[in-house]
């Protein structure tokens, strides 16, 4: 199944921490998620991957028995996850978590051009990020939703 991730700190200085965005999309099931995140470009890219993998883990029925082809325009991250490039200090703090997910979820990660990244579409159409109340992203810790996949697009759970 093709899945797309996108992360950016939305700043000209990609090495500075700044308000950014993490996003993932799975067109085959009509899913798209976009959320704010403060970090460097590398932070945002890895958090988009980890957020998606956490979502997959929390929704096993939706992804049961599937090999995921995760596509991103973040070429450096792709090569680092594939062990084909040196790992930066920032990336090194995320890779152990990625490796844990590689042992749990069947996926490969590949590069795709930005214009073909479904998770990127509409990013700049979003309203400016504003501070707001904290949001619980620990899907598996909600007893109300125990065992039910979470539909982030509608704020309720759905049966798959």
Residue 147's pLDDT band (cuts 50, 70, 90): very low
pLDDT band at 145 (very low <50, low <70, confident <90, very high): very low
**pLDDT higher than threshold 50 for residue 146:** no
**Mean pLDDT estimate for the chain:** 81
> What residue ranges do the domains of the chain occupy?
2-122
Rg (alpha carbons) of the chain, rounded to whole number: 15
Provide the pLDDT confidence category of residue 133 given band limits of 50, 70 and 90: low
* DSSP codes, 24-93: EEEGGGTEEEEEEEEE-HHHHHHHHHHHHHHHHHH-HHHHTTPPEEEEES-HHHHHHHTT-SPPPHHHHT
Percent of the chain at pLDDT > 90 equals 54
Residue 43 pLDDT more than 90?
yes
pTM summary value: 0.75
For the residues 101-112, what does the mean pLDDT come to?
96
Which of 3.40.50.1100, 3.30.420.10, 3.30.360.10, 3.40.109.10 would CATH assign to domain 2-122? 3.30.420.10
Tens-place pLDDT, residues 8-39 = 987 777 667 778 899 999 988 888 899 888 89
């Amino acid at each position: 199944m093709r899945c797309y991730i996108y992360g950016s700190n939305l700043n000209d200085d990609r090495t500075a921490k700044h308000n950014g965005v993490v996003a993932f999309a799975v067109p085959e099931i009509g899913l798209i998620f976009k959320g704010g995140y403060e970090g460097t470009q590398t932070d945002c890219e890895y958090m988009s991957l980890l957020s998606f993998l956490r979502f997959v883990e929390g929704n096993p029925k939706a992804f049961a028995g599937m090999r995921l082809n995760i596509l991103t325009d973040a070429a450096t991250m792709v090569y680092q996850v594939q062990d084909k490039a040196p790992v930066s200090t920032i990336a090194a703090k995320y890779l152990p978590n990625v490796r844990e997910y590689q042992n749990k979820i069947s996926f490969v990660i590949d590069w795709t051009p930005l214009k073909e990244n479904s998770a990127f579409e509409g990013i700049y159409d979003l309203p400016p990020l504003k501070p707001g109340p904290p949001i619980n992203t620990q899907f598996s810790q909600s007893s109300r939703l125990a065992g039910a996949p979470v539909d982030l697009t509608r704020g309720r759970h759905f049966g798959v």
